[in-house]
């Protein structure tokens, strides 16, 4: 039995809804096939966006969608993706499988997708192979309301009103695929490029500088010191199994070691996150720059027989459990982490949705995001868990990862049982009485179970028994499961 105390009077800051953000890149079958099939497809679609996928994603209340990359962003020239589709030039997607990109999904299609999903926009600009002029023109094309050649071109292409750009990223991974730059060089470029990200009319753009990869705190420190005053946020990327690049293991075929190694990687990420925040606290003691974790997730070997450049993998309870721990990590770091974008939304890495032709299925990670919805913009609550943990490879892994928040008088609690061998009884004490409880659990018989096109509902949430007596709540979190509890 584990004990938990939740103090609803001790609020610990808002959990930004943007932590539940998504990312869609021109990579493999994320955009094409996964989200966009074109108006002439036999797959039911609205303006080219497949209805089954959009309808499923709408259930997640996605706050923001990052696009067009990723590495693709620093190879992307926005002018290739506007105007009549038959006139749009083709390009080679050199980063991802060397396939030919027809640019049928471009700026207008992205805004249409965000409109259908009901989410805000986060566009990543091209610093690596683009120019300042190209970037400034894109902003004017999208957001200027007046009478300028660029705004009129947007109108000619079918959009009279300016688009709303909420967030703009100045380059992606410019230490690697975005130009192999040093942090000093990038910082200077950042200062120059960001000058031309202008706010037209009502559109106020939140500027995000390219940040570090995993443990590279020197990048974070240098960029913040040299250019911190010109940015609203700085990004950070962290994938699991990054340290075993050559042999990450399969997403749907692993043993107990594969399960626990993933948990160790999550704890390594926790350490790295706190190191980055510590550096930020030194360089920016007033807390004026946010940390934007705009790529995170589990990265395994691709499914055999698929294009290795397409990063197509399956998704199991392991992804749901580790995903919940990482989201809890972001909750706990809410004073700095203001946005996060899991990689990626459809058919790539730790996806929400998988498709094959006209078929689709949602993944355990999709259920995780759906079950966690109640936390979006909730106030984090002081939560004490009696701290039972176990050691793997020198890291202390919690048996139960738990987080609680409150919004509009409703308390949401999420909990993950990280063990493969033992259910855990929880006794939760609250500091006020509640009269209604509802709980869901996501678990499966075997750790490698996943949803396939033939068995799309193998892993899905079911009700969880919970005993509420005023200010006491008792429930059992089954081994390798995640649970979400709502109290009113
Ligand atoms: O998400 C896949 C790739 O991972 C992105 O394109 C890149 O930014 C990162 O290295």
Residue 241 has pLDDT above 80, yes or no: no
* Cβ 172 under 6 angstroms from ligand 1: yes
Confidence band (pLDDT; 50, 70, 90) for 388?
confident
State how far the Cα of 486 lies from the Cα of 361, in Å rounded to an integer.
26
CB atoms under 10 Å from CB of 217, counted, come to 16
Burial of 396 (0-12, 13-18, 19+ CB in 10 A): exposed
Q: What is the pLDDT of residue 409?
A: 96
Q: Is 173 a catalytic residue?
A: yes
Which of 41-50, 274-283, 386-395 is the least confident region? 386-395
Task: Name the one residue in this structure whose structure tokens are 């340290």.
Answer: 243
Choose the residue to mutate in 26, 302, 343 for probing ligand 1, maximizing ligand atoms within 8 Å of C-beta: 343
Give the number of residues written for the chain: 488
For 244-286, the pLDDT digits (tens) are 666 789 999 999 999 999 999 999 999 999 999 999 999 999 9
Q: What is the pLDDT of residue 294?
A: 98
The values of phi and psi at residue 174, to 5°, are -70, -5
Q: What is the pLDDT of residue 245?
A: 61
Of 293, 321, 315, nearest to 401 (Cα)? 321
For 435-487, the pLDDT digits (tens) are 999 999 999 999 999 999 999 999 999 999 999 999 999 999 999 999 999 99
Choose the residue to mutate in 237, 307, 344 for probing ligand 1, maximizing ligand atoms within 8 Å of C-beta: 237
Cα(45) to centroid(ligand 1), Å: 28
Q: What is the pLDDT of residue 246?
A: 62
Cα(163) to centroid(ligand 1), Å: 26
Task: Name the one residue in this structure whose structure tokens are 């997730």.
Answer: 297
* Cβ 25 under 6 angstroms from ligand 1: yes
Q: At what angle do helices 256-283 and 217-227 cross, to 10 degrees?
A: 30
Choose the residue to mutate in 177, 307, 311, 349 for probing ligand 1, maximizing ligand atoms within 8 Å of C-beta: 177
* Cβ 294 under 6 angstroms from ligand 1: no
* Cβ 173 under 6 angstroms from ligand 1: yes
DSSP 420: S
For 204-218, the pLDDT digits (tens) are 999 999 999 999 999
For residues 386-407, give the mean pLDDT. Answer: 93
Measured between alpha carbons, how far is residue 275 from residues 215, 216, 316, 340 in Å?
8, 10, 29, 17
Report the mean per-residue pLDDT for the chain.
Answer: 97
> Please, what is the end-to-end C-alpha distance for the chain in angstroms?
24
- Count CA atoms within 13 Å of residue 423 on its CB side: 10
* % of the chain beyond a pLDDT of 90: 96
SS3 of residue 460 by DSSP: coil
Measured from the CA of 178, which atom of ligand 1 is nearest?
A: 8
Confidence band (pLDDT; 50, 70, 90) for 229?
very high
State how far the Cα of 109 lies from the Cα of 125, in Å rounded to an integer.
16
Residue 4 has pLDDT above 70, yes or no: yes
* Cβ 74 under 6 angstroms from ligand 1: no
Q: What is the pLDDT of residue 387?
A: 79
State how far the Cα of 477 lies from the Cα of 345, in Å rounded to an integer.
28
Structure tokens at 7: 């103090």
Measured from the CA of 72, which atom of ligand 1 is nearest?
A: 6
| Residue 188, strand partner residues | none
* List 295, 379, 406, 424, catalytic entry: 295
Structure tokens at 135: 């970037």
CA dihedral 349, 102, 86, 88 (to 10 degrees): 110
């Amino acid at each position: 039995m584990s004990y938990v105390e939740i103090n609803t009077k001790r609020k610990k800051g808002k959990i930004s809804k943007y932590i539940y953000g998504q990312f869609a890149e021109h990579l493999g079958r994320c955009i094409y096939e996964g989200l966009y099939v074109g108006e002439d497809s036999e797959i039911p679609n609205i303006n080219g966006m497949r209805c089954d996928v959009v309808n499923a994603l709408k259930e997640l209340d996605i706050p923001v969608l990052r696009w067009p990359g990723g590495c693709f962003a620093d190879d992307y020239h926005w002018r290739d993706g506007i105007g009549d589709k038959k006139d749009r030039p083709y390009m080679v997607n050199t980063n991802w499988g060397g396939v030919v990109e027809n640019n049928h999904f471009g700026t207008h299609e992205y805004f249409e997708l965000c409109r259908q999903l009901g989410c805000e926009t986060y566009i990543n600009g091209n610093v690596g192979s683009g120019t300042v002029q190209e970037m400034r023109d894109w902003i004017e094309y999208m957001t200027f309301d007046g009478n300028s050649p660029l705004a009129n071109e947007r109108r000619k292409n079918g959009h009279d009103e300016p688009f709303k750009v909420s967030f703009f990223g100045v380059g992606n991974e410019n230490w690697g695929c975005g130009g192999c730059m040093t942090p000093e060089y990038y910082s200077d470029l950042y200062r120059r490029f960001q000058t031309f990200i202008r706010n037209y009319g009502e559109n106020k753009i939140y500027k995000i500088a390219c940040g570090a990869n995993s443990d590279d705190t020197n990048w974070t420190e240098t960029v913040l010191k040299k250019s911190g005053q010109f940015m609203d946020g700085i990004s950070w990327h962290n994938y699991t199994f990054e340290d075993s690049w050559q042999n990450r293991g399969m997403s749907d075929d692993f043993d107990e070691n594969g399960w626990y190694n993933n948990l160790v990687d999550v704890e390594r990420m926790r350490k790295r996150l706190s190191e980055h925040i510590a550096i930020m606290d030194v360089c920016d003691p007033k807390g004026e720059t946010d940390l934007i974790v705009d790529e995170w997730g589990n990265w395994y070997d691709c499914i055999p027989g698929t294009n290795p450049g397409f990063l197509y993998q399956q998704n199991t309870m392991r992804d749901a459990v580790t995903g919940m721990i990482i989201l809890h990590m972001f909750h706990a770091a809410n004073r700095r982490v203001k946005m996060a974008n899991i990689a990626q939304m459809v058919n790539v890495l730790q996806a929400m949705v998988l498709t094959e032709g006209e078929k689709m299925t949602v993944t355990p990670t999709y259920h995780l995001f759906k079950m966690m919805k109640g936390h979006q913009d909730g106030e984090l609550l002081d939560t004490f868990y009696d701290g039972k943990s176990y050691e793997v490879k020198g890291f202390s892994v919690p048996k139960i990862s738990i987080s609680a928040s409150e919004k509009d008088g409703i308390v949401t609690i999420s909990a993950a049982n990280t063990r493969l061998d033992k259910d855990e009884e929880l006794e939760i004490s609250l500091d006020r009485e509640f009269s209604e409880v509802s709980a869901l659990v996501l678990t499966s018989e075997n750790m490698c179970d996943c949803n396939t096109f033939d068995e799309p509902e193998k892993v899905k949430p079911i009700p969880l028994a919970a005993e509420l007596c005023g200010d006491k709540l008792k429930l059992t979190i089954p081994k390798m499961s995640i649970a979400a509890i709502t109290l009113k």
